[in-house]
A and B are shown apart, each in its own frame.
Chain A
Amino acid sequence: METIIRTEKVDKIYYQGRPEEVRALNQIDLEIPKNRIVLIRGPSGSGKSTLLNLISTIDRPTNGRIFLYGEDISKYSDVQFSRIRQKTFGLIFQNFNLLPRLPAWENVAFPLIPFGLTEKERRQRSTEILIQLKLEKRVDHLPEQMSGGEQQRVAIARALVNNPEIVIADEPTSNIDAESINILLDILRHLEIKGKTIIISSHDPVFLDYCETIFFLKDGRLVNIEQREFK
């Protein structure tokens, strides 16, 4: 099985060298297989979100190396990181991180602006995804006019608009209703079928039936890896 992401002795230390120093991640070595749904589990404060931030390149490790497709990206420049995020990753945040003044379709289309697509093209592309996510009636709504579940689906649509290879979701079920959870699970399955790699951090057991690889974190350490087979 091909490995898409590998971490090698990754540490993340906040306030290093100060009395309030926090070691959020400690010597993490893991391999994430391609075209799988991967779950990172662990109690609150175990370092799940921090690990996702490092893997998705929106944060930098204090020590250690991260490999993407076998290439060490730890020392990449700001420009290279942006390029990776633009082409390879689709990020779904726990608190959605939608731009409050933009309607749903513009939130989804925002990552497309630097591609030079016209407004019509951007709108068309984002609307298509929003329709797939059953948000056709919310295309022109502002985030504040939508429920938590709907906002989460807009965030998912934004993550998918660039057709990324890897989708990363941080606690995707923490702020949404049961119906939205079902839609989310459908999407994840669909993405896996399309050959995408999905990395989820969550302590919600709802994902256990879908994930082939589960990493367990505790106090910033990787304590267990579980491989599962589904027929």
Chain B
Amino acid sequence: MNKHLNLLYTAVENILRNKVRSVVLILCLIAVLFPFVTALSISEGIKFQSLISVEEGADIYVTVDYFGSNAPISLNHLERFRKMDGVTKVFPRIVGRTYFANRLVTIVGILPENVPKSIRLSQGSMFREKGDVIVGGGLAEEFRLQPGVRFSLSINASKLLRVAGIFDSSASIWSANLILMPFEDASEFFKMKGRATDILIYTRPGYAPILAKEIQEKISSSDPEPSGPPLRVQDKTLIQRYFQRGFNYKAGVFTALYTVAFALAIPALLIVSGFGQTERRKEIGVIKATGWQTQEVMEMVALENLIISLTSAPLAILMAMAWLKLFNGAFIAQFFIAEVGLMAPFPIPSRFLPLPSFFAFLFAVVLTMVGSLYSTWRTATIPPVEAMR
């Protein structure tokens, strides 16, 4: 036991004595790990916010299945859904996309009485009159929109809109590039009279799966437009699963890409860890000549790497936290949030979970070990006189 403790103390002393080499190695590891930790925390943050949005949203979403894609649904369904047992609230929604100058924006049309009470505005008030809209903080900042400003969009230039309020920039990331308008206005804007992109159904607790099944099976078969395509019914659980899968996929793709980058970083780290390798090689030769076993040399170097990794990983996590806090995840958030640009105009959500932190540590260990164990082993197994040359 004392022998291993001695090797541990020696490893710590070696790190402290070779300050320049240790600092360079730690900095390199932080440079590699910090974008990875930042990206995963952003991914987790967005996923968390999405799942909250889904949780707070409707229990069932009904639209039309048109060749496997969502298509507008007739408002004739509204009354039939309202009458179903267990349904507490039903309302239509229009969700579309268009360009505001060169910025892709999402337009949501909703009946004023159905606007969630939780929505916070930084300026102005909710829409009261026809043509009133609430715009996202990102849009307002980019195009200097203020309450009272009128504008139109190229897709329907004849429709004049007036900014009634601006979403709070600390609200969810979805509101940054959003234009919220009354349902009727959205209907006119997209020329979709009598239709919605989906119908939102709120149910009593426990009714959602039964009602979803009933809508899919019975109402689809007695459709008011029997010649039309079938309905597509998605309940909360299904949507949560889609989100989860989507984000896991995206984070997985990022991790895979990063693993490739790591693999490419290994030769670079080999060079970095070879910093002072001549001195190290001679040192290994000397201690082998004085009777150290190869296994003891390896243990000491492995402990050095472990300590370096244990130092680098938390520092990378702290730096990721600082990057998100001070620079709002600049350069990294754009991999996860479309159209966000280098500097997002709204607070980028993030979450630091134990698993990504553990992965950061694991990657650091792998990188340092790969970078040094093999060369150490080679040096330790050649005759000491060669290593000392």
Contact = CB atoms under 8 A, between A and B. Distances in A.
Most chain B beta-carbon contacts within 10 A, residue among A60, A83, A114, A115: A114
Most chain A beta-carbon contacts within 10 A, residue among B1, B294, B383: B383
A162 B288 CA distance: 14
Contact of B290 (A101, A116, A119, A158): A158
Contacts of B286: 97-99
Contact of A97 (B10, B383, B388): B388
Interface residues of A, number: 32
B154 interface: no
Interface residues of B, number: 30
Interface in B365-389: 381, 383-386, 388
Contact of A59 (B9, B17, B283, B385): B385
Nearest to A118: B2
Interface string B256-292: 0000000000000000000000010011011111111
Interface in A89-104: 89, 91, 93, 97-102
A100 B283 CA distance: 9
B209 to A, nearest CB: 66
B302 to A, nearest CB: 15
A117 B291 contact: no
A86 B297 CA distance: 14
A189 interface: no
Nearest to B283: A99
A110 interface: yes
Nearest to B286: A97
Given A85-B290, A86-B291, A158-B290, A78 B7 contact: no
B144 interface: no
A58 interface: yes
Contacts of A78: 293-294, 381
Contacts of B7: 113-114
Contacts of A93: 388
Contact of A116 (B6, B18, B285): B6
Nearest to A60: B383
Contacts of B285: 97
Nearest to A89: B291
A85 B6 contact: no
A120 to B, nearest CB: 12
A85 B289 contact: yes
Contacts of B290: 85-86, 91, 110-111, 158, 162
A132 interface: no
A110 B296 CA distance: 12
Contacts of A117: 2, 6
Contacts of B6: 113-114, 116-117, 119
A42 to B, nearest CB: 18
A53 B385 contact: yes
Contacts of B282: 97
B117 interface: no
Contact of B383 (A58, A79, A101, A118): A58
Given A99-B283, A101-B18, A119-B9, A114 B293 contact: yes
Contacts of A119: 6, 9
B289 A58 contact: yes
B385 A83 contact: no
B304 to A, nearest CB: 14
A82 interface: yes
Interface in A36-81: 53, 56, 58-60, 78-79
A228 interface: no
B128 interface: no
B218 interface: no
A87 interface: yes
A150 B89 CA distance: 92
B191 interface: no
A6 to B, nearest CB: 20
Contact of A111 (B292, B295, B381, B383): B292
B83 interface: no
A194 B1 CA distance: 33
A88 B376 CA distance: 25
Contacts of B295: 79
Given A97-B286, A97-B388, A82 B383 contact: no
7 contacts: A58-B383, A58-B388, A87-B291, A97-B282, A101-B17, A114-B296, A115-B3
Given A58-B385, A89-B291, 6 more contacts: A97-B282, A99-B286, A111-B287, A114-B3, A114-B292, A119-B9
Which 4 pairs between the two chains have the least Cβ-Cβ distance?
A86-B291, A116-B2, A111-B290, A116-B3
